[in-house]
């Protein structure tokens, strides 16, 4: 099994690259999907979020109002750290359990996450693929796909800080979605598929250090 970390800023095109890799045979875990599962109604994570942030983060149907929660945590670094302390350990647990069936195989397993480096998970991956695009493309995509205001988007991009943390990883691969992402993705896939075949064999250990 070859573990590949896929990261990049919000609106950079991670989902596009993840779908390309999945079509080529990769197993893809999306941190955003796992994060939603971690705080779904009825879970301990949901209860902890409501306890910490109060009933104002609940939607009329009883689910979390993600926009209301986002407006709090992106304006308050301490609140954001509190939310991450609830969500991130559960995401790591679910990802670890999901990887177990691929140990000792030649599968390429991709973990797509916007905060891969910031959370300290990156050393556990044998390869890191960073998706990048211009801020103008990020803003345009998010305005079109999510209906956010330009000011809100720029605030989230500035608050994420993934570009500052990017320097913590030596020689990552990059795929720009401002240009021919398919070509870059195909090249990355060939390299990583070869690496997965080379690393296949009995698993040395299923225990990994996933950071904070």
Residues 6+ apart with CB under 8 A from 117: 7, 162, 165, 166, 168, 169
Determine the Cα–Cα distance for residues 8 and 138; give it in Å rounded to an integer: 11
User: Which pLDDT value is given to residue 204?
Assistant: 42
**Cβ neighbours of 82 (radius 10 Å):** 17
Residue 148 φ then ψ, to 5°: -80, 155
Cβ distance 7 to 113 under 8 Å?
Answer: yes
Determine the Cα–Cα distance for residues 94 and 141; give it in Å rounded to an integer: 29
Q: CA distances (Å), 65 to each of 153, 155, 156, in order?
A: 18, 19, 17
Please name the helix (run of DSSP H) or strand (run of DSSP E) that holds residue 98, with its range, or none. Answer: helix 77-99
Q: pLDDT 10s per residue in the chain (212 long)?
A: 899 999 887 777 788 889 999 998 999 999 999 999 999 999 999 999 999 999 999 999 999 999 899 889 988 999 999 999 999 999 999 999 999 999 999 899 999 998 787 777 888 898 888 887 777 887 888 788 777 788 877 777 766 555 544 444 444 555 555 555 555 566 666 666 666 666 665 444 444 555 55
pTM as predicted? 0.73
Please name the helix (run of DSSP H) or strand (run of DSSP E) that holds residue 17, with its range, or none. Answer: helix 14-23
Q: Which of 87, 163, 80, 172 is nearest to 123 (CA)?
A: 172
62 sits in the region (left: phi over 0; alpha: psi -120 to 50; else beta) called: left
pLDDT, tens only, 100-153: 999 999 899 999 998 787 777 888 898 888 887 777 887 888 788 777 788 877
User: Which pLDDT value is given to residue 156?
Assistant: 72
């Amino acid at each position: 099994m070859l573990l590949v970390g896929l990261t990049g800023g919000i609106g950079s095109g991670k989902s596009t690259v993840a779908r390309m890799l999945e079509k080529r045979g990769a197993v893809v875990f999306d941190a955003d999907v796992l994060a939603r599962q971690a705080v779904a109604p009825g879970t301990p994570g949901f209860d902890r979020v409501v306890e910490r942030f109060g009933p104002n983060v609940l939607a009329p149907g009883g689910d979390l109002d993600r926009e209301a929660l986002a407006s709090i945590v992106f304006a308050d670094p301490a609140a954001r750290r509190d939310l991450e302390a609830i969500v991130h350990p559960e995401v790591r647990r679910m990802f670890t359990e999901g990887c177990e069936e691929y140990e000792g195989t030649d599968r390429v397993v991709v973990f797509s996450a916007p905060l891969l480096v910031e959370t300290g998970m990156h050393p556990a991956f044998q390869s890191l693929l960073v998706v990048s695009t211009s801020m103008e493309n990020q803003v345009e995509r998010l305005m079109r796909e999510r209906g956010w205001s330009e000011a809100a988007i720029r605030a989230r991009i500035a608050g994420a800080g993934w570009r500052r943390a990017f320097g913590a990883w030596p020689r990552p691969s990059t795929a720009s979605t401002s240009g021919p992402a398919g070509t870059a993705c195909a090249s990355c896939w060939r390299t990583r598929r070869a690496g997965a075949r080379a690393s296949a064999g009995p698993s040395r250990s299923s225990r990994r250090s996933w950071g904070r």
